[in-house]
Structure 1
Amino acid sequence: MRILLVEDNADLADAIVRRMRRDGHAVDWQSDGIAAASVLRYQSFDLIVLDIGLPRLNGLSLLAGLRERGDTTPVLMLTARDGIEDRVKALDVGADDYLGKPFDFREFEARCRVLLRRNQGRAAGVIQVGALAFDSAAHRVTLDGEAIDVPNREFRLLEILIGKLGQVVSKDEIGNGLFGFDDEAGPNAIELYVGRLRKRLAAAPLRILTVRGVGYMLEAAPPAETQADAEPLDA
């Protein structure tokens, strides 16, 4: 998933970026409100982690402008302020959740997962397709109860596709969810990760179809079919 972190504390920002990238998320970092507001005018994200006390433009003003434009991206508000008034104001302006500093990273990650699931229209952290289970909280994929080794980037690709099971997902949407501004992604990067994921799901009741000129679609497959049967479709 693609996450924007807006935090002026460099040490905290570095810790968050490292932790979220380790889990396979694409994370972009901005340290002041004006820069973040500029990025948000041309780039979409799956989640925004936003500090209130920012230089040049505070987080509440940035969020208010975001919501006024009709942007419904989930926002987790961070702040060192403990007052009830700050929490109420953040939620009233349009924050989806609120977390005070200092915080335990386990809680931070859990809150991020909830907002990302909500953004995909999912209430639960586990998606079951036949004998395959995708568990976003445990970062685990199993088939008949046996774990499938799925590296971080491919795990996030599967998360994007399985969140829209049976729907075509464009290459632009996939690239936006997998890669941040600092990631080195060549023109064939998406095809590479799709190919790797297909091999890992070879025995699963799923297949990834290529929709020529558009993108990819993940669909449930009859037990007798495999990834080898995933013929390209014309748009």
Structure 2
Amino acid sequence: MPAVVRAGVTLYWQILPGNIFSMPQSYLPNGTAQELEQLLLPTLRMLNQSSIPHSKHGISSLRPPNNHFNLSVTDTKPVAFSSTNFPNFQDAFSTLNPETKITALNIGGDLIPRSLVASNSSAASLVGGFKSILTNGGIILGVSMDVSTQPTSPNAVHPGWRDSLFLAFLGTIPAIVAGQQVVTNLLDPALQNLTPNPAAYLNEAEFQHPN
């Protein structure tokens, strides 16, 4: 994943109960579908070599207007993934993002620093945090991108985002008071306790988290 995001890809992924990992959408601005496929090829090969089935999802790249085409790639397995070039981000987003009723979720979130995958032991701790969330009835969603490059002009981005590997969103369904207490007391601490200076993306922060 680090090599993929360093190349400019934004990955959206989910970890769900039942040992399910889903990557419903990915974007490569100013890239092509073939370039995105090449970046993901090592992962697809590993899945095939390990006999791990993977189902069909859309991945996309963005090209300048008047220079786009459609492409579908079928793997040797019975299931496949597809990639498509879009002329602009709005078309890609509208196609790959169905309407989501975010109010149906009890939600929390954390910025996960790159340092958590710097060693086998810290990476194992992160995996343990994921397992704890799933064991306690939660779901995990992530957005991986490389935003380490400083802008030419100062802005209001949280400094922790610059050092992050991904944005982690977690929650329970349905949106009820008891479910939010699970997020506050069990799910969110599973990740926040792993980071020395915990932080969150404001829109998905756990609103009951004590400061």
TM-score, normalization by structure 2 = 0.30
TM-score, normalization by structure 1 = 0.28
